[in-house]
Amino acid sequence: MFPVYLELGFDHILDLNGYDHILFLIAMCAVYSFSDWKKVLILATAFTIGHSITLAMSALSVINVDSALIELLIPVTILITSILNLFLKPKNDRNWLPHYFLVLFFGFIHGMGFSNYFKALLGRESDIILPLFSFNLGVELGQICIVAVIMFLNFLVVKKGKVSQRAWNISISIMALVLSINMIIGKL
């Protein structure tokens, strides 16, 4: 059971058909340089924690949110992240603390997008701890892979290609912003 849910979580994040998670991670990373990789991993973990809490609450029937609303809110999280990247620059880690909570909250929303499917996968299983843990471990491993690729691309473009971090951030954030607006329009 553990490997099945681990693979499902990993595939869930890396699924190009549901590229919203990947796009969110790209937008989340845009403002950070390669040397900030630890901060980015903490953000990815905050996202996974939010995702995990939502899945647990859904599996236990504590929450039940209209899936159409969630499908609209997911690209809104990408839009907000992109806009924040364009207009806010943290002066130090303490000023950026709200960003971690925002990513955690966005993890709640993204988790709700998968909660009905996850609940159906569980079926009549009475113990949700192992499936939930292994699924979210797979999510985290998938996110680490995505973050590693994004940060490596940042290194190549910014450090080796001599493009400014600001130009990188603006380019990536505008791309994510445009794609999220397109997703939002498609949901309306």
How many Å apart are CA 7 and CA 137, to the nearest integer? Answer: 9
Q: Which of 55, 67, 83, 52 is nearest to 172 (CA)?
A: 83
Nearest CA to 46 out of 22, 25, 67 is that of 25
Model confidence at 95, pLDDT cuts 50, 70, 90, reads low
Give yes or no for a contact between 7 and 64, defined as CB atoms under 8 angstroms apart.
no
H helices within the chain, ranges in order?
2-14, 20-30, 37-59, 67-87, 97-122, 129-154, 165-187
Query: Any residues with CB less than 8 A from the CB of 128 and at least 6 apart, and which?
Result: 56, 59, 60, 122
Q: What local confidence, expressed as pLDDT, does residue 183 receive?
A: 94
Query: Which pLDDT does position 91 carry in this prediction?
Result: 58
| This model's pTM is above 0.85 | yes
The pLDDT, as a whole number, for residue 92 is 55
pLDDT tens readout for residues 9-63? 899 888 888 788 899 999 999 998 898 888 889 889 999 899 889 888 887 878 8
pLDDT digits (tens, 9 = 90+) for 133-169: 998 899 899 999 999 999 999 999 999 999 999 999 9
Q: Do 21 and 138 contact (CB within 8 A), yes or no?
A: no
Would you state the pLDDT for residue 90? 58
Give the pair of three-digit tokens for residue 67: 């899936």
Confidence at 99, pLDDT banded by 50, 70, 90: confident
pLDDT tier at 179, thresholds 50, 70, 90: very high
Query: Which pLDDT value is given to residue 19?
Result: 87
Percent of the chain scoring above 70 in pLDDT: 95
Rg of the chain on CA atoms, in Å: 17
pLDDT of residue 65: 81
- DSSP assignment letter at 36: G
Give the amino acid at 57.
M
Q: Where are the domains of the chain?
A: 2-187
Alpha carbon distances (Å) from 172 to 23, 47, 177, 182: 10, 20, 9, 15
The number of residues in the chain equals 188
* Vertex 146: Cα angle to 133 and 112 (nearest 5): 45
The predicted model gives 93-107 an average pLDDT of 76
